Amino acid sequence: MHSSAEENYLKAIYKLQEANGELVATSALAQLLGIHMASVTDMLKKMSTKKLVAYQKSKGFKLTEKGRLAAIGIIRKHRLWEVFLVDKLGFRWDEVHDIAEQLEHIHSQDLIDKLDAYLDFPKTDPHGDPIPDAKGVFAISKSVLLAALSPGSQGKFTGVTDHSSAFLNYLDKIGLSLGDTVKVKEVEAFDKNYTLLLKGKKSVVVSFKVANSLLISE
Partner DNA sequence: CCGTAATATTAGGCTTGCCTAATTATTATT
Partner DNA sequence: AATAATAATTAGGCAAGCCTAATATTACGG
Residues that bind a copy of itself (CB under 8 A): 85, 88-91, 95, 98-99, 102-103, 106-108, 110-111, 114-115, 118
Q: Taking CB within 5 to 8 Å according to partner kind, which of a copy of itself, DNA, Mn ion, none is near residue 160?
A: none
Cα 168 → chain centroid: 13
**Nearby residues of 169 by Cβ (< 8 Å), 6 or more positions away:** 94
DSSP string for 93-113: TTTSHHHHHHHTT---HHHHH
Tell me the C-alpha distance between 6 and 202, whole Å.
Answer: 47
Q: Which of 59, 135, 142, 201 binds DNA (CB under 7 A)?
A: 59
Instruction: Single out the residue of 97, 171, 194, 211 in contact with Mn ion (rule: CB under 5 A).
Output: 97
Min CB(106)–Mn ion separation in Å: 15
Among 16, 32, 43, 53, binds DNA (CB under 7 A): 43
Q: Which residues from 53-92 bind Mn ion, rule CB under 5 A? A: 82
Query: How many chain residues are in contact with Mn ion, going by CB under 5 A?
Result: 5
Distance between CA atoms of residues 156 and 146, nearest Å: 10
Under 8 Å between Cβ of 161 and 211: no
At its nearest, how many Å lie between a copy of itself and the CB of residue 114?
Answer: 4
